[in-house]
Chain A
């Protein structure tokens, strides 16, 4: 049994930012991650982070409220506006802070943080470190964590690398800790904590073609979901327009922000042909660009029927090397193509989970002591479609807010004696479940189940959806869940049992996938990333509301709650 004041699950940007905030308040922190923190998916973020600093010559008149408006419009008016305003107002503060901590942002000629144009933004407000902004920010926060660890006067900040959280302990209306498996030894143990934060990232790998790291299984959403916390707006799944053909490795929106063209098989900038993207062209928001790409594919105008050409050649080699060295390197190494000489073959791919663990503006869930932040959470600041540059911002703004809220919660919390028993019971239950997987006589191949889930999500719960496809997807996922009950783990070793670990996570992926499909089937409108071909328009009268999916043994039970407005009136969305 391990014990800390606060347990943070996930060592990406949101988790590390929360850890730093808690340590500032001298709270004892344990940070648990299924990989070493620097192997978290946050390192793969490329293009930048939004803040209305006004450092760009064309950014003079930018303000936090304009940032908030763009975000709300980008969300197709599903985001909660007070939360968005908070994020936009905190943005400059958090960006300056991480710069003060050493984040190596690119610079303007005056030496200020450089900013570039991004999709759906009225001003160039995306701060960047060439096209490796996530890596730069991750290293900076990891460095700050080490700084606190090395400071003698600070309370403990212990990192548990390669532990997978598989359960939560619930004591009445309280979260009493978490249960995790040490991937390196197979041991299952309880982690006692007064408060627990889930900062476990998105669930992209429930889809076949995703930019996400292999680790983004959705397990971190499934654990709180099973413990009784609802998932919110799961049907909103972002497809990024430019992922490398085949591998779906991200090619940053910065490539278009810097002036790249998106061409169909005739070498035509097809975005001009669609009313919702004809003005903004390549820097229209992601949902719109990805949707128009899907339309081109259906119309037979994609290259070889599958992809498009991202043309950067007119930017010149010098600018490409200076502003986009990372994607140049990726294109050369993974596709054998130098963007300075040839267009890059790209296709839309799953990229971001707008939905997540239902939390309020302080990161708190309805289970007392349980918090969530970053992509794992849904505040909601991204609504039905996230703008590029807002995810990195979300992680450090709400990571800090959740850290502060947890420090406050812990200070005023007296742990009842019953909580220890709840944790011990939960640990015993999870230990048994793992044991059952290892010794049971299952016959179902986990890889076959996983493959079918990914294929189904891709084909029927992708950019375009309809009742028929979604109903059949729901049936398929339920069938897979049933087969999963008889799943087989062949390898019986305890040390680094990859098969056991991915089989456990597959159970989580299936639960999350089911919530996505159920939400998408119920939502009979098109909004942001959710495009129903059988309900083509946005329907504010019936659907200006958040979906809540509560876990039951028979699948998700859906309910709805109102969107918080108050600043901007919902309007038609064109760019």
Chain B
């Protein structure tokens, strides 16, 4: 189809229905300037096929709900313009390595479990002062690119290692571990490094950079993992020479 419409080819599956096989279903969506993949999904769900299931919330690339595989790469449906994708068929699939609940919606449970493992909260090194803990602008800058993670799960789905090792903490959890290691206000670096220093932690990464390529916020989880590795090695040396 050409002109003012595009064909979407969407993964459909309801595992709760016994014997139901996964399949792809095609829909024709009128395209206008500025139309996003998320707009197209709503068009389909509201006007063509109300049975379609997908997640969405902020539609401004801040909440991470609408992460999926779009025309050959991972992305947020809300910030992906339809126009540049051509007439299609534009193939939409759910995130990988996670159980499917229905259609484009996956169970993020295993993703959150890994995130919870890294003790994702500040463990202050010192008691709180009366006012704010001070932090120099340079030290604050070290958190840029780490605090911007929206935990959409795309990096973990794009990660080739994630497909072969269910226990691998994955790029999102590791990037967030580094977020606290880098924070001058945190005092639990030793413990954090112990958590990620293992065969299912930072050493499992094969530095393929799939996570970095896929991240819809332009972050660099591979770089964060490498920073954690260097920090671990530095800490080991410190222990040896002590």
**Chain A interfacial positions (CB closer than 8 Å to B):** 35-36, 38-41, 43-44, 53, 95-96, 99-102, 104-113, 129-130, 132, 134-136, 139-140, 143-144, 146-147, 150, 184, 213-215, 246-247, 249-250, 329-330, 333-335, 447, 489-491, 493-499
Contact of B58 among A36, A43, A95, A109 (CB under 8 A): A43
Q: If A41-B57, A143-B121 touch, does A495 touch B101 (CB 8 Å cutoff)?
A: yes
- In the complex, the chain B residue whose C-beta lies closest to that of A493 is B51
A506 to chain B, nearest CB (A): 11
Is B133's CB under 8 angstroms from A99's CB? yes
Q: If A129-B147, A447-B47 touch, does A113 touch B132 (CB 8 Å cutoff)?
A: yes
Cβ-based interface call for B148 (8 A): yes
Residues of B17-51 whose CB lies within 8 A of A: 34, 36, 45-47, 50-51
Q: If A43-B150, A333-B79 touch, does A490 touch B50 (CB 8 Å cutoff)?
A: yes
A224 to chain B, nearest CB (A): 22
Contact of B63 among A44, A112, A335, A447 (CB under 8 A): A44
Is B34's CB under 8 angstroms from A247's CB? yes
Chain B residue contacts of A35, Cβ below 8 A: 55, 57, 63, 65
Chain A residue contacts of B135, Cβ below 8 A: 107, 111
Chain A residue contacts of B65, Cβ below 8 A: 35-36, 39
7 shortest A-B CB distances, which residue pairs?
Answer: A102-B122, A111-B134, A143-B121, A499-B50, A496-B53, A147-B121, A100-B128
Chain A residue contacts of B150, Cβ below 8 A: 38, 43, 135
Is A150's CB under 8 angstroms from B102's CB? no
| Distance in angstroms between the alpha carbons of A35 and B64 in the assembled complex | 11
A391 to chain B, nearest CB (A): 15
Is B121's CB under 8 angstroms from A144's CB? yes
Residues of B106-121 whose CB lies within 8 A of A: 108, 116, 119-121
| Distance in angstroms between the alpha carbons of A447 and B47 in the assembled complex | 8
Is A112's CB under 8 angstroms from B132's CB? yes
Cβ-based interface call for B61 (8 A): yes
Is B101's CB under 8 angstroms from A184's CB? yes
Q: If A104-B143, A111-B136, A213-B59 touch, does A491 touch B121 (CB 8 Å cutoff)?
A: no
| Distance in angstroms between the alpha carbons of A532 and B180 in the assembled complex | 51
Contact of A498 among B52, B108, B144, B183 (CB under 8 A): B52
Cβ-based interface call for B160 (8 A): no
| Distance in angstroms between the alpha carbons of A491 and B103 in the assembled complex | 14
Mind listing 6 A-B residue pairs with CB under 8 Å? A35-B65, A38-B63, A38-B151, A39-B58, A146-B120, A495-B102
| Distance in angstroms between the alpha carbons of A95 and B50 in the assembled complex | 44
Contact of A44 among B55, B60, B120, B143 (CB under 8 A): B60
Chain A residue contacts of B59, Cβ below 8 A: 213-214, 247, 249
| Distance in angstroms between the alpha carbons of A132 and B150 in the assembled complex | 11
Contact of A143 among B16, B79, B122 (CB under 8 A): B122
Chain A residue contacts of B119, Cβ below 8 A: 150
B44 to chain A, nearest CB (A): 11
| Distance in angstroms between the alpha carbons of A496 and B116 in the assembled complex | 26
Max chain A Cβ within 10 angstroms of own Cβ: one of B16, B183, B218: B16
Is B121's CB under 8 angstroms from A109's CB? no
Chain B residue contacts of A150, Cβ below 8 A: 116, 119
Is B60's CB under 8 angstroms from A39's CB? no
- In the complex, the chain B residue whose C-beta lies closest to that of A95 is B132
Cβ-based interface call for B185 (8 A): yes
Residues of B139-198 whose CB lies within 8 A of A: 139-140, 143-144, 147-148, 150-151, 180, 183, 185-186
Is A499's CB under 8 angstroms from B45's CB? yes
Contact of B101 among A135, A214, A496 (CB under 8 A): A496
Chain A residue contacts of B52, Cβ below 8 A: 498
Chain A residue contacts of B82, Cβ below 8 A: none
Is A215's CB under 8 angstroms from B79's CB? no
Chain A residue contacts of B147, Cβ below 8 A: 104, 129, 132, 135-136, 139
Is B53's CB under 8 angstroms from A106's CB? no
Is A101's CB under 8 angstroms from B122's CB? yes
Chain B residue contacts of A329, Cβ below 8 A: 61, 217-218
B37 to chain A, nearest CB (A): 12
- In the complex, the chain A residue whose C-beta lies closest to that of B127 is A100
B186 to chain A, nearest CB (A): 8
B241 to chain A, nearest CB (A): 32
Q: If A102-B121, A146-B121 touch, does A43 touch B183 (CB 8 Å cutoff)?
A: no
Chain B residue contacts of A495, Cβ below 8 A: 14, 16, 53, 101-102
Q: If A96-B131, A249-B59, A490-B50 touch, does A496 touch B102 (CB 8 Å cutoff)?
A: yes
Q: If A146-B120, A333-B61, A496-B105 touch, does A96 touch B56 (CB 8 Å cutoff)?
A: no
Chain B residue contacts of A112, Cβ below 8 A: 131-132, 134
Q: If A496-B105, A499-B45 touch, does A44 touch B58 (CB 8 Å cutoff)?
A: yes
B15 to chain A, nearest CB (A): 9
Cβ-based interface call for B62 (8 A): yes
Is A44's CB under 8 angstroms from B47's CB? no
| Distance in angstroms between the alpha carbons of A322 and B185 in the assembled complex | 22
- In the complex, the chain A residue whose C-beta lies closest to that of B56 is A214
| Distance in angstroms between the alpha carbons of A263 and B101 in the assembled complex | 48
Chain A residue contacts of B122, Cβ below 8 A: 101-102, 140, 143
| Distance in angstroms between the alpha carbons of A308 and B185 in the assembled complex | 43
Is A109's CB under 8 angstroms from B140's CB? no
B16 to chain A, nearest CB (A): 5
Chain B residue contacts of A144, Cβ below 8 A: 121
Is A498's CB under 8 angstroms from B45's CB? yes
Cβ-based interface call for B86 (8 A): no
- In the complex, the chain A residue whose C-beta lies closest to that of B105 is A496
| Distance in angstroms between the alpha carbons of A44 and B150 in the assembled complex | 11
Is A107's CB under 8 angstroms from B137's CB? yes
Chain A residue contacts of B14, Cβ below 8 A: 493, 495
Chain A residue contacts of B121, Cβ below 8 A: 101-102, 143-144, 146-147
- In the complex, the chain A residue whose C-beta lies closest to that of B116 is A146
Is A40's CB under 8 angstroms from B63's CB? yes
B35 to chain A, nearest CB (A): 10
A350 to chain B, nearest CB (A): 14
Is B64's CB under 8 angstroms from A249's CB? no
Contact of A132 among B54, B132, B148, B183 (CB under 8 A): B148
| Distance in angstroms between the alpha carbons of A189 and B214 in the assembled complex | 39
Q: If A96-B132, A104-B140 touch, does A43 touch B62 (CB 8 Å cutoff)?
A: yes
Other A-B pairs beyond A38-B151, A112-B134, 11, CB < 8 Å:
A35-B63, A107-B134, A107-B137, A111-B135, A111-B137, A113-B132, A129-B147, A214-B57, A247-B60, A330-B60, A493-B51
Chain B residue contacts of A100, Cβ below 8 A: 124, 128, 132-133
B39 to chain A, nearest CB (A): 9
| Distance in angstroms between the alpha carbons of A38 and B59 in the assembled complex | 14
A531 to chain B, nearest CB (A): 27
